[in-house]
C-alpha cells in the first residue's frame, strides 16, 4: 500500500466517524443523553433545549461569530414513556457528548467536563445534574446556563483548561499580590467569607486560607469565559495580548498558551476555524430531535467460510455462547445469521425471556465451516432479519464477525448498510479480515474488535463481552471480573475475587480445547460446586457455573485438572450486588483508533465507582498485534508523561512500540495489597462565585453546598476490560524516534539563597526508559523563557544524572547572586535522549522569595505593590516633614511679625496649606 493510499484511507475513516462535526458554521451530531437513573421529567427536555439555544448565541459571540449550535439530539432513557420520542439510531449514553445524571460526589450540582487528554485534545463528556437544569437559583452562582455550556464546551471540544484555581487562588507577581485569573483586567477585592478584609499568612504573605477574590459586578473587559462566565460583561475567550501567563492555573500548566491560541492552533477545529468566515447575521436557532433506545435488537452475523474450520469455529461458538448466556440482557431480541458461499438464518429474532431461551439459541450456533466468504450475503440477510420486528433497522445492532477478505464486491452492500441506521459492531478474527470492518463500525457508531489466533489470550470471548450498550445505570451492566488462560497438561488453579460492589448474576465460564477437564469451584465459605452443578456445552467445549442469588463476597477458588496438553481459559462476570450501589468499573481506550505512526499513542484506563475515582490500584495494559505478539505496559496515575492528572483514577501511558496493522487492547486492574482508595478530587468545573462587589459593597451569593472530600478505603478487587481495537498504518518506512516527554509538573521553591526544583523524570522515548540529560534555565521574565528557552540563564546540570521515567527528580542549586526579598524567578527544563532529540520545554515554574512576617496584617488593597507601598510611605513622610518645617517657619515668622506689628496669629488649615504648597 503506497503512502497516498494510506493517507486517503486515514482521511476517509477519520473524517466520516460518528461524533461532533462542523457543518458549515454549525455544530451537528451533538448528543445529549439523560441517564436511566433520572426519573422521568419532561421539563428537563425543555430546559436542555433552552440551554443549548441560549448557549448557541453565546458561542457565536465568543468566537468571532464563526460557529454556533446547529443540531442536537436528546436521548431519553428507555424507561421514560411518551409517544413523542422517535427511535434512536447510533446515539447511546456511553458515547454522548453531554450527560445528564446524578451528582458526582466531588462536584455536587456543579457542571464539569471529564478531561484526561493533552492540551487541545477533545474531552470525554460534559456532566450536568438535573437539579442544575431545573434550579434557577444556581444561575446567580454559576452564571446563565447558556454561558456555562460554552465554558464546558471549550473543555470538551477544544481541550482548553480553567483559568482560575481553587488550590492556588493568589500568587505574587513582582511583589504584587494577584488573584489567579485571566485576564488581569478583571478587577475585584479580597475579603473573607464574613466580608472582612483578608489577613495575610505570616509564612507566605499571601492572603490566608478562606480569603476570596470578589470580582466587581460591573467590569470593563469582555474576557474571559474560562475564568468567570458568570460576569455579565464577559463574552469571549482570553486573547494572546491579554493572557496572564504568570497565573498558576491549569491553562498555563497544561497549555502555556492563551485559550484562543489553543482553539485556533491546536484544537480539532483549528483548520475550520481559520478558514470559516463570520456569519453576517444572527445564527438560526438550533433544531432538536428527542430519541429513545428501547430493548436491544441484535443479529449475530457469523462467518462460517472454509477458513473458519478447526479452532476458529470452536472459538466462535465459545464466544457467542458466552454472549448469549451471560452478556445480552433479558428482554433483548436476538437473531443468528451465518454466511459463506450462501447465507442462512439459524434463528429469527427471539426475545430473551428465560434461561431455556438462551440455551435454545446457543444450541443453534454454527458448528461446521466451509465455502467462500461472501460478506454482502451475510450483511444483507442480517439486515433483513432485523427488519422483521417493525419494518426498519434503525438503532438495531449487528455483530458481524469474519476472518477473511471478501469474495464478493463489498462496495455493493457496505455503503447501504452504513446508511441503514443500524449499529454495526465488527470483529476481525485473524489478520486477513476485510478492511471494511473498521469503516462499518466507525461510521455507524459500533465497536471494532480484533482477535488473534492465540487461544490463551481469550480475545474473541473478551471482545464479545465488551459489546454492551449502557443506559447510564451501571447496576444493570455486566462487569468482567477476570479472564485468564493457560496451556497445560496438569492443574490450572486460581482465585477470583468477588468484591462487595458485585455479586448478582455471577458466572464462571471455563473453555477447553480438546477434552473435558475435571472442574471444581469453591466459595469463600468452603462450599464446593462440582461439574454436575454446572452447564456443559459439549459442542462449544464450554462449562458454565451460574451462582444462584448473590455470590458470597471473597475469594472463589477454581481447580481445573487436565490429563492431556490443551488450552484452558476461565472468565468470571458479575453485576452490582445492590440496585442502588453501582459496581467498580473499568473503561479502556486509546487516544487514537487509527494512526499513521507519526504521533505517539496513549493508553487510558479509567477506574471508578459512581464517578468516584479509584486511586493506587495496579493497572496493566496488554496490547496484542495481529501477529499475536503481546506487549505489556503498566499504566500510571502520577500526573506525569502521558498522565494528565495525578490521583484522578485515570491511568495512562504512552505506547510507542506499535506495529503496522491492527492491535487489540485489554486492561487488567487489581487491588490485592489494600493500597487502593476512593477519592473525590475536584480540579475544574464551572467556577462558583462567592459574591460580587457592587459600588464598593460585597453582595454574597448563596453558599456552595458542601461535598465529600474524605478518601475512603477500597477492598480487594480485580477487573478486566477490553477496549476497541486500533490500527497503525505507517506512512514512512520505519517507526519514528520519539523524544522524552514534556515535563508538566515542574515546581520551584526558593530556600534562603538556594533554589529547589522538583519534577517527574521523563523517559528516553516519551515516558519510558531513561533520558540522557537535562537542561535547566531561569529568567526574571516569564515570557522570554516561554518563547525562547535558549535565551534563559543556564544552570549547571553536569552533576545531574536523569533517573528512570516516573521517578521523582529534585535538584537544588545556588545562583551567582543573593536573592533579594520579594524577587520572583521563573524556571523551565528540557530533557534530551541518546539520539539528541529534545523534549518540549516544560511548564514554567515560578518562585518568590518572601521572608515570613511574625505579625499577620489585614490586606486592605488587593493588588497593592509592596515596592510602591514603601516608596509611597517615604514620599508621604518627606511631605509631612516638609509641611511641618514650613508651618514652624511660618509660625515663627508670624510671631515675630505680630510682636513688631501687633498682627493676629493665623492658624493654617490643610486646604490653605495645600494651596500654599501648590
Task: Give the active site residues.
Answer: 152
CB 400 within 8 A of CB 322: no
Give the dihedral of Cα atoms 340, 344, 345, 346; nearest 10 deg.
-80
Q: How many CA atoms lie within 13 A of 217 on its CB side?
A: 13
Burial class (CB in 10 A: 0-12, 13-18, 19+), 275: exposed
Strand, coil or helix: what is 608?
strand
Taking alpha carbons only, the member of 16, 22, 14 closest to residue 158 is 22
Burial class (CB in 10 A: 0-12, 13-18, 19+), 810: exposed
CB 846 within 8 A of CB 826: yes
Kind of pairing between the strands at 502-512 and 542-546: antiparallel
CB 390 within 8 A of CB 422: no
Long-range contacts formed by 49-52: CB under 8 A, 24+ apart: 49/74, 49/286, 49/288, 50/145, 51/133, 51/145, 51/146, 51/149, 52/146, 52/149, 52/286, 52/288
3-state secondary structure 295-353: CCEEEEEEECCHHHCCHHHHHHHHHHHHHHHHHCCCCCEEEEEEECCCEEEEEEEEECC
**Separation between Cα atoms, residue 826 and residue 779, nearest integer Å:** 5
Separation of CA 866 from chain center: 41
The phi and psi torsions of 777 (rounded to 5 degrees) equal: -135, 155
Number of Cβ within a 10 Å radius of residue 28: 16
Kind of pairing between the strands at 397-402 and 423-429: parallel
CB 324 within 8 A of CB 339: no
**Separation between Cα atoms, residue 597 and residue 621, nearest integer Å:** 20
E strands, 77-124, are: 86-87, 98-100, 112-114
Q: How many CA atoms lie within 13 A of 479 on its CB side?
A: 32
Question: C-alpha distances in angstroms, 704 versus 170, 179, 297, 320, 688?
Answer: 20, 20, 45, 50, 7
Burial class (CB in 10 A: 0-12, 13-18, 19+), 145: buried
Strand, coil or helix: what is 383?
helix
- Hey, CA dihedral for 853, 854, 855, 856, is it positive or negative? positive
Element (H, E) at 586: strand 585-590
Amino acid at each position: 500500500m503506497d503512502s497516498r493510499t494510506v493517507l486517503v484511507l486515514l482521511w476517509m475513516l477519520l473524517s466520516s466517524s460518528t461524533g461532533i462535526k462542523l457543518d458549515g458554521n454549525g455544530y451537528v451530531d451533538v448528543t445529549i443523553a439523560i441517564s436511566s437513573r433520572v426519573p422521568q421529567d419532561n421539563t428537563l427536555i425543555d430546559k436542555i433545549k433552552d440551554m443549548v439555544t441560549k448557549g448557541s448565541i453565546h458561542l457565536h459571540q465568543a468566537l468571532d461569530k464563526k460557529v454556533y449550535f446547529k443540531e442536537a439530539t436528546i436521548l431519553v432513557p428507555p424507561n421514560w414513556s411518551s409517544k413523542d420520542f422517535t427511535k434512536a439510531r447510533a446515539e447511546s449514553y456511553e458515547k454522548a457528548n453531554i450527560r445528564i445524571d446524578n451528582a458526582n460526589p466531588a462536584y455536587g450540582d456543579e457542571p464539569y467536563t471529564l478531561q484526561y487528554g493533552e492540551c487541545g485534545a477533545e474531552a470525554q463528556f460534559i456532566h450536568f445534574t438535573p437539579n442544575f437544569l431545573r434550579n434557577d437559583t444556581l444561575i446567580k452562582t454559576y452564571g446563565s446556563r447558556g454561558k456555562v455550556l460554552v465554558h464546558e464546551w471549550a473543555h470538551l471540544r477544544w481541550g482548553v483548561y480553567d483559568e482560575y484555581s481553587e488550590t492556588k487562588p493568589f500568587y505574587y507577581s513582582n511583589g504584587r499580590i494577584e488573584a489567579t485569573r485571566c485576564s488581569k483586567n478583571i478587577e475585584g477585592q479580597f475579603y473573607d467569607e464574613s466580608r472582612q478584609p483578608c489577613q495575610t499568612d505570616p509564612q507566605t504573605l499571601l492572603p490566608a486560607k478562606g480569603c476570596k477574590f470578589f470580582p466587581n459586578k460591573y467590569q470593563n473587559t469582555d474576557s474571559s469565559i474560562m475564568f468567570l462566565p458568570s460576569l455579565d460583561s464577559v463574552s469571549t475567550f482570553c486573547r494572546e495580548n491579554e493572557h496572564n501567563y504568570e497565573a498558576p492555573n491549569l491553562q498555563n500548566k497544561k497549555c502555556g498558551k492563551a485559550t484562543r491560541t489553543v482553539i485556533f492552533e491546536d484544537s480539532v477545529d483549528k483548520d475550520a476555524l481559520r478558514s470559516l468566515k463570520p456569519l453576517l447575521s444572527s445564527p438560526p436557532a438550533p433544531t432538536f430531535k428527542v430519541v429513545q433506545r428501547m430493548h436491544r435488537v441484535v443479529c449475530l452475523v457469523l462467518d462460517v467460510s472454509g477458513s473458519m474450520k478447526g479452532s476458529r469455529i470452536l472459538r466462535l461458538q465459545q464466544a457467542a455462547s458466552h454472549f448469549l448466556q451471560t452478556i445480552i440482557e433479558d428482554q433483548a431480541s436476538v437473531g443468528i445469521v451465518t454466511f459463506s458461499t450462501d447465507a442462512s438464518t439459524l434463528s429469527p429474532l427471539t426475545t430473551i425471556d428465560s434461561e431455556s431461551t438462551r440455551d435454545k439459541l446457543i444450541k443453534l450456533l454454527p458448528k461446521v465451516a466451509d465455502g467462500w466468504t461472501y460478506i454482502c450475503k451475510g450483511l444483507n440477510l442480517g439486515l433483513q432479519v432485523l427488519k422483521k420486528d417493525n419494518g426498519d433497522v434503525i438503532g438495531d445492532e449487528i455483530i458481524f464477525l469474519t476472518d477473511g477478505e471478501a469474495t464478493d464486491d463489498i462496495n455493493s452492500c457496505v455503503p447501504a448498510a452504513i446508511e441503514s441506521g443500524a449499529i454495526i459492531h465488527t470483529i476481525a478474527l485473524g489478520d486477513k479480515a476485510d478492511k471494511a470492518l473498521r469503516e462499518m463500525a466507525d461510521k455507524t457508531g459500533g465497536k471494532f474488535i480484533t482477535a488473534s489466533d492465540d487461544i490463551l489470550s481469550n480475545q474473541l470471548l473478551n471482545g464479545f463481552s465488551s459489546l454492551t450498550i449502557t443506559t447510564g445505570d451501571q447496576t444493570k451492566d455486566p462487569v468482567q471480573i477476570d479472564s485468564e488462560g493457560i496451556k497445560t497438561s496438569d492443574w490450572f488453579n486460581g482465585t477470583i475475587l468477588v468484591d462487595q460492589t458485585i455479586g448478582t448474576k455471577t458466572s464462571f465460564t471455563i473453555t477447553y480445547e480438546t477434552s473435558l477437564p475435571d472442574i471444581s469451584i469453591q466459595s469463600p465459605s468452603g462450599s464446593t460446586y462440582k461439574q454436575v452443578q454446572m452447564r456443559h456445552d459439549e459442542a462449544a467445549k464450554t462449562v458454565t457455573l451460574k451462582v444462584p442469588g448473590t455470590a458470597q463476597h471473597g475469594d472463589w477458588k477454581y481447580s481445573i485438572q487436565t490429563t492431556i496438553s490443551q488450552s484452558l481459559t476461565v472468565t468470571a462476570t458479575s453485576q452490582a450486588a445492590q440496585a442502588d450501589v453501582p459496581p467498580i468499573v473499568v473503561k479502556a481506550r486509546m487516544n487514537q483508533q487509527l494512526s499513521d505512526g507519526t504521533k505517539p499513542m496513549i493508553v487510558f484506563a479509567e477506574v471508578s465507582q459512581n464517578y468516584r475515582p479509584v486511586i493506587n490500584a495496579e493497572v496493566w495494559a496488554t496490547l496484542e498485534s495481529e501477529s499475536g505478539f503481546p506487549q505489556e505496559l503498566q499504566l500510571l496515575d502520577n500526573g506525569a508523561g502521558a498522565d494528565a492528572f495525578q490521583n484522578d483514577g485515570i491511568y495512562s501511558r504512552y505506547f510507542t512500540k506499535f506495529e503496522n496493522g491492527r492491535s487489540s487492547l485489554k486492561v487488567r486492574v487489581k487491588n490485592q495489597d489494600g493500597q487502593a482508595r476512593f477519592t473525590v478530587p475536584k480540579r475544574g468545573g464551572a467556577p462558583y462565585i462567592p459574591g460580587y462587589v457592587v459600588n464598593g459593597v460585597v453582595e454574597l451569593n448563596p453558599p456552595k453546598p458542601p461535598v465529600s472530600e474524605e478518601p475512603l478505603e477500597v477492598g480487594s478487587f480485580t477487573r478486566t476490560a477490553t477496549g476497541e481495537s486500533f490500527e497503525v498504518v505507517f506512512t514512512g518506512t520505519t517507526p519514528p524516534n520519539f523524544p522524552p516527554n514534556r515535563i508538566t509538573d515542574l515546581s520551584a521553591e526558593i530556600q534562603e539563597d538556594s533554589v529547589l526544583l522538583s519534577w517527574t523524570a521523563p523517559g528516553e522515548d516519551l515516558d519510558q526508559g531513561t533520558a540522557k540529560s537535562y537542561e535547566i534555565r531561569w529568567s526574571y521574565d516569564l515570557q522570554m523563557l516561554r518563547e525562547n528557552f535558549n535565551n534563559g540563564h543556564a544552570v549547571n546540570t553536569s552533576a545531574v544524572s536523569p533517573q528512570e521515567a516516573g521517578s521523582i527528580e529534585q535538584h537544588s542549586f545556588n545562583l551567582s547572586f543573593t536573592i533579594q526579598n520579594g524577587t520572583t524567578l521563573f524556571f523551565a527544563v528540557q530533557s534530551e535522549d541518546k539520539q539528541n532529540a529534545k523534549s518540549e520545554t516544560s511548564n514554567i515554574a515560578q518562585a518568590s522569595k518572601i521572608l515570613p512576617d511574625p505579625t499577620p496584617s489585614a490586606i486592605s488593597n488587593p493588588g497593592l505593590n509592596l515596592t510602591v507601598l514603601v516608596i509611597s510611605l517615604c514620599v508621604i513622610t518627606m511631605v509631612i516633614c516638609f509641611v511641618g518645617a514650613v508651618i514652624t517657619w511660618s509660625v515663627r515668622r508670624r510671631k515675630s511679625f505680630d510682636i513688631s506689628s501687633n498682627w493676629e496669629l493665623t492658624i493654617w488649615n490643610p486646604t490653605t496649606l495645600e494651596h500654599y504648597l501648590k
